[in-house]
Structure 1
Amino acid sequence: MNSADVHLREITDDNRDAVRALRVRRDQKQFVASVSHSLKEAAKKPETRPWYRAVYCGDEPAGFVMLSWRPPAGRYEGRHFIWRFLVDKRYQGLGIGRRALTQVADLVRADGATELLTSYQPGDGEPWPFYRKFGFEPTGEIDDGEIVLRLAFTAR
């Protein structure tokens, strides 16, 4: 498995079931909803402008990412917010999450954003170490019990 071949792909009828079958480790389930739940939530909340992709490693789905892409109203109006991000338990620890997040950040930056936001539920096994290594910093905000993080993009 070559983690260098990580790319984002649209979710279609051809890959939807394989992407929905992705699972995190048991100890991570409290931190991230399933792909199926995420897709249902996206369908119920079009006002949040959900944007989602499967994360592929070669020809295999290995993860899932969903953003609220500059929603027109609400707390994160006009901002890009990672709503869901997961790497399947079989693919963790290979650098796939880091490569996928780099691609997402590049897309958001290309859209003119100066930052990328996300949040996490604190607890044993939380994703904070991953986000911290990537460069995210706490904003000081709490959203529905989750700590909000910000990745600032430096001017080019």
Structure 2
Amino acid sequence: MPPRLEKITTDNVLAACAIAVRPDQEDLVAPVARSLAEAYVQPDVAWPRLIVDGDRPVGFLMAFLDIRWRPEDPGDVRSGLWRLNIAADQQGRGYGRFAVEAVAGELRSRGTDRLVVTWVPGPHGPERFYRRLGFRLTGEHSGDQVVGELDL
């Protein structure tokens, strides 16, 4: 049975918050609890989901939907992957790829033609992962993160 996405509910929120990445990745992605707090205050933008395999939570993702990327350019509206946390003991098993493909499918169903992601560059960062999936660097930065995009 393939992994699946579940909406965050009162039944699984604690399991979602228990998802922890490897210690060397903790400075690269916010904890799930912070992501859920951000989703709570931005429900029209955030799309948080728990990644479940069988009955076991293995990761968390949060997409962003239709945000104005640059305030000075009202026509620059983008959607993409905001957060991806795969449990430390579950990494390397295809759950990250599944998460990106699931977000891509959701965005396609909403009529979006590209998926945006940002990441902190560095030796423990996810750049190789995203590049293997076909993301290309845009040359832009969002704070201390680089911006990549994937045509859908």
TM (norm. structure 1) is 0.89
**Percent of matched pairs sharing the same residue:** 37
Secondary structure of the residue aligned to 2:149 is strand
Aligned-residue offset at 1:42: 2.0
- State how 1:96-135 maps to structure 2 within 5 Å: 96-135=95-134
Unaligned runs of 5+ in 2: none
Contact 2:63 2:103 in 1 (8 A): no
Q: Which amino acid aligns with 1:17?
A: L
Gapped runs of 5+ residues in structure 1?
none
Which has more strand, going by share of residues? 2
Query: Which residue of 1, 5, 8 corresponds with 2:5?
Result: 8
Question: Paired residues, what number?
Answer: 148
Corresponding residue SS for 1:141:
strand
Structure 1 CA distance for aligned equivalents of residues 137 and 118 of structure 2: 9
C-alpha deviation, 1:74, in angstroms: 4.5
Aligned to 1:53: 49
Pairwise mapping of residues 1-156 of structure 1 onto structure 2 (< 5 A)? 5-46=2-43, 49-71=45-67, 73-75=68-70, 78-153=77-152
CA distance in 2 between counterparts of 1:55 and 1:78 reads 27
Q: What secondary structure is seen at the aligned counterpart in 1 of 2:77?
A: coil
| Aligned-residue CA RMSD (Å) | 1.6
Cα contact 2:118–2:147 (8 A) shared by 1: yes
**CA distance in structure 2 between the aligned counterparts of 1:74 and 1:101, rounded to whole angstroms:** 20
Q: Confirm or deny: 8 A CA contact 1:120 1:126 kept in the other structure.
A: yes
Q: Please give the alpha-carbon distance, in whole angstroms, between the structure 2 residues aligned to 1:30 and 1:89.
A: 14
For the residue of structure 2 that corresponds to 1:79, the secondary structure is: strand
Amino acid at match of 1:85: L
